[in-house]
């Protein structure tokens, strides 16, 4: 039995997910669909949500966990309000993208794929977003920052935070 009392504000979300599971359960290969829906509802797939899915679908937790970790579109950590995507495509790679990525991970004190404690930034990577002439490049949300150096990248995220928080 799943104790929803402890998750009062999220009850509605679990109810939504339960309903979706019931609709999907008899269809072939429903787990991926259910996990997609769960991620849409919760934003990511923490252990509690994976447990809930396993119980409701009557399958082992390990099965849910292996699907979640196999596909990189499933997230097990919350996503921040702003996404930094450092390009690791060939043009950016040869111009030192990894150094930029390492510097940002250090600056934000998170690992790649992680989110800052205040959920402001998520640090992610991309494979070429068509700004190769500006390599090495990154995007913060929709905005491209090119011809980066480690210092420029660090400065860009500090400035971004400062101006965004003022708004």
Residues of this chain that interact with ligand FES (CB under 6 A) are 87, 89-92, 128-132, 135, 137
- Which residue's beta carbon is nearest to the bound ligand FES? 89
User: In this structure, are strands 143-145 and 138-140 parallel, antiparallel, or unpaired?
Assistant: antiparallel
Closest CA to 141 of 154, 162, 126: 126
Cβ distance to ligand FES smaller for residue 119 or 147: 147
Cβ distance to ligand FES smaller for residue 104 or 135: 135
Cβ distance to ligand FES smaller for residue 90 or 149: 90
Q: Which residues contact 104 (CB under 8 A, 6 or more apart)?
A: 84, 86, 123, 138, 153, 154, 157
Closest CA to 48 of 87, 6, 102, 82: 6
Cβ distance to ligand FES smaller for residue 66 or 149: 149
As measured in angstroms, the least distance from the Cβ of 125 to ligand FES is 10
Cβ distance to ligand FES smaller for residue 21 or 148: 148
- Dihedral (C-alpha) 55, 29, 39, 116: value to the nearest 10 degrees? 90
As measured in angstroms, the least distance from the Cβ of 147 to ligand FES is 11
Phi-psi region of 109 (alpha: psi -120 to 50; beta: other; left: phi over 0): left
Say how far apart CA 49 and CA 17 lie, in whole Å: 9
As measured in angstroms, the least distance from the Cβ of 149 to ligand FES is 15
As measured in angstroms, the least distance from the Cβ of 84 to ligand FES is 14
As measured in angstroms, the least distance from the Cβ of 112 to ligand FES is 16
């Amino acid at each position: 039995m799943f104790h929803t009392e402890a998750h009062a504000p999220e009850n509605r979300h679990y109810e939504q997910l339960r309903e979706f599971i019931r609709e999907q359960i008899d269809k072939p290969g429903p787990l991926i669909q259910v996990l997609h829906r769960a991620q849409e509802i919760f934003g990511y797939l923490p252990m509690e949500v994976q447990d809930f899915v396993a119980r409701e679908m009557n399958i082992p937790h390990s099965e849910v966990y292996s699907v979640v970790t196999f596909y990189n579109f499933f997230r097990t950590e919350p996503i921040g309000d702003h996404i930094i995507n450092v390009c690791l495509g060939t043009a950016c790679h040869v111009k030192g993208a990894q150094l930029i990525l390492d510097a940002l991970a250090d600056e934000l004190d998170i690992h790649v794929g992680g989110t800052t404690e205040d959920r402001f930034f998520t640090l992610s990577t991309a494979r070429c977003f068509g700004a190769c002439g500006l390599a090495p490049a990154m995007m913060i949300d929709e905005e491209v920052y090119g011809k980066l150096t480690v210092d420029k990248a660090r400065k860009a995220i500090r400035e971004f935070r400062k101006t965004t928080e003022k708004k």
